[in-house]
Chain A
Amino acid sequence: MNRRSFLHSSLPAAVSLPGLMSGLNFQAFGAAPGGALKALAETAAANDHVLVLIQLAGGNDGLNMVVPLDMYANYYTARTNVAIPQSKVLRLDGTDKSGLHPAMTEMQQLFNNGKLSIVQSVGYDNPNFSHFRSTDIWMTGDNTVDRHASIKTGWMGRYLENEYPGYPAAYPNHEMPDPLAIQISSMSTVTVQGSVLSMGLNITDPLKIYSFMNPFSDYALDNESANKELRYLRVISEKTRTYSEIIRSAYRRANNMAEYPDNELSKQLQIVARLIQGGLKTKVYAVSMSGFDTHKKQVNAGDTTTGVHAKLMKELSASVSAFQKDMELMGLDDRVMGMTFSEFGRRIKSNASMGTDHGTAAPLVLFGRHVKKGILGASPEIPASIETNTNLPFQYDFRSVYASVLEKWFCVQQPTLDTLLLQNYQSLPLISAVPCGGEEEIEENNMHSQGMELKMTPNPFSGSGVIRFTVEGGFTLIQLISPLGRVVKVFAQQEYAAGSHILHFSDLNLPAGIYFLRLQNGPFQKVISVMKAR
Chain B
Amino acid sequence: MDRRTFLKGARAKTITLATNMPRGLQSGLDPYTGPWTTNEVAHLLKRAMFGAKKSDIDYFLSRSCSDAVDELLQNIPAVDPPLRDYGVLEDQGIMYEDTAVPRGQTWVDDLNNTINDPGRRAAINSARIESLRRWWTGLILNQNRSINEKMVMFWHHHFSVQREEVNNATHLYRHHNLLRNNVLGNVRELAKKVTVDPAMLLHLNGYLNSKRAPDENYARELQELFTVGKGNDSLYTESDVIEAAKALTGWRIHNTTLTAYLNTEEHDMSTKRFSAFYHNATITGSANGSQEVDQLIDMIFSTTESARFICRKLYKWFVYYDIDAFAESNVIAPLAEILRQNDFQVSAALSVLLKSEHFFDKQNQACYIKSAFDFVAGALRELDISIPAYTDYENGYPLFDSICERAAQMQQDLFQPPDVSGWPSYYQEPMYYELWVNSNTLPRRAAFTDALIEDGLVDLRGLAQRSANPADPNQLISDLCELLLRYPLSSNSRNYIKTNFLLEPSGNDSSWTNTWNAGSAAVINEKLGNALRFIMNLPEFHLC
A residues lining the B interface (CB < 8 Å)? 130-132, 147-148, 152, 169, 183, 186-188, 196-198, 200-202, 208, 210-218, 220-226, 228-240, 243-244, 296-297, 308, 353
Contacts and interface: CB of A to CB of B under 8 A. Distances in A.
A215 B487 contact: no
Given A211-B537, A237-B442, 20 more contacts: A130-B164, A132-B162, A152-B424, A188-B438, A201-B440, A213-B537, A216-B496, A217-B1, A217-B9, A217-B10, A220-B488, A222-B362, A223-B362, A223-B365, A228-B367, A229-B434, A233-B539, A235-B10, A239-B439, A240-B443
Contact of B492 (A196, A218, A232): A218
B13 interface: yes
B63 interface: no
B16 to A, nearest CB: 8
A311 to B, nearest CB: 11
Contacts of B337: none
B440 A202 contact: yes
Contacts of B543: 226, 229-230, 233
A212 B446 contact: yes
B521 interface: no
B365 A226 contact: yes
Contact of A210 (B10, B15, B447, B490): B447
Contacts of A152: 424, 428
Interface string B403-421: 0000001010000000010
Contact of A198 (B19, B164, B320, B439): B439
B492 to A, nearest CB: 7
For chain B, the bracket of interface size reads 35 or more
- Interface core residue of A213, A235, A244 (most chain B CB under 10 Å): A213
B78 interface: no
15 contacts: A132-B164, A187-B440, A196-B431, A197-B438, A198-B440, A202-B443, A210-B443, A215-B493, A216-B496, A218-B490, A220-B488, A221-B366, A221-B487, A225-B367, A236-B442
Given A196-B431, A217-B6, A223-B362, A236 B437 contact: yes
A216 B442 contact: no
Interface string B481-520: 0000011111011001000000000000000000000000
Interface string B117-153: 0110000000000000000000000000000000000
Nearest to A179: B439
B46 interface: no
B542 interface: yes
Contacts of B15: 169, 231-232, 235
A13 to B, nearest CB: 11
Contacts of A230: 539-540, 543
A216 B534 CA distance: 12
Contacts of B488: 220
Contacts of B9: 217
Residue in A198, A211, A223, A243 with the greatest tally of chain B CB atoms within 10 Å: A223
Contacts of B486: 226
A283 to B, nearest CB: 16
B237 to A, nearest CB: 15
A213 B366 contact: no
Across the A-B interface, the 7 shortest Cβ-Cβ residue pairs = A233-B539, A225-B367, A226-B366, A188-B440, A202-B440, A226-B367, A240-B439
Contacts of A222: 362
Interface string B391-411: 000000000000000000101
A229 B92 contact: no
Contacts of A218: 489-490, 492-493
Contacts of B369: 229, 233
Contacts of A197: 431, 438
Interface of B: 1, 3, 6-7, 9-11, 13-17, 19, 23, 92, 118-119, 162, 164-165, 224, 230, 320, 362-369, 409, 411, 420, 424, 428, 430-431, 433-434, 437-444, 446-447, 450, 486-490, 492-493, 496, 534, 537-540, 542-543
A224 B487 contact: no
A224 B363 contact: yes
Given A132-B162, A210-B443, A229 B487 contact: no
B497 to A, nearest CB: 9
B319 to A, nearest CB: 10
A224 B23 contact: yes
A188 B438 CA distance: 10
B434 A238 contact: no
Max chain A C-beta neighbours (<10 A), residue from B433, B442, B447: B442
Nearest to B430: A196
Contacts of B119: 296, 353
A224 B24 CA distance: 10
Contact of B439 (A220, A225, A236): A236
B345 to A, nearest CB: 30
Nearest to B23: A225
B530 to A, nearest CB: 10
B177 to A, nearest CB: 24
Most B C-beta atoms less than 10 A away, residue of A201, A213, A225? A225
A215 B490 contact: no
Nearest to B117: A353
A201 B10 contact: no
A226 B489 CA distance: 13
A213 B367 contact: no
Contact of B442 (A147, A200, A240): A240
A288 to B, nearest CB: 14
A216 B538 contact: yes
Contacts of B1: 215, 217
Given A216-B538, A223-B365, A223-B366, A210 B164 contact: no
Nearest to A308: B92
Contacts of B539: 214, 230, 233-234, 236-237
A221 B362 CA distance: 9
Given A196-B430, A221-B487, A223-B367, A213 B534 contact: yes
B489 A235 contact: no
B224 A244 contact: no
Nearest to B405: A186
B364 A187 contact: no
Contact of A211 (B363, B490, B493, B534): B534
Nearest to B409: A186
Contacts of B92: 296-297, 308
A130 B542 CA distance: 34
Nearest to B119: A296
Contacts of A223: 362-363, 365-367
Contact of A229 (B10, B14, B364, B367): B367
A308 B438 CA distance: 36
B438 A198 contact: yes
Contacts of A226: 365-367, 486-487, 543
Contacts of A131: 164
A216 B366 contact: no
Contacts of B489: 216, 218, 220
A353 B118 contact: yes
B493 to A, nearest CB: 5
A132 to B, nearest CB: 5
A213 B23 CA distance: 30
A357 to B, nearest CB: 12
B366 A238 contact: no
B318 to A, nearest CB: 14
Contacts of B441: 188
A233 B436 CA distance: 10
Contact of A212 (B320, B438, B442): B442
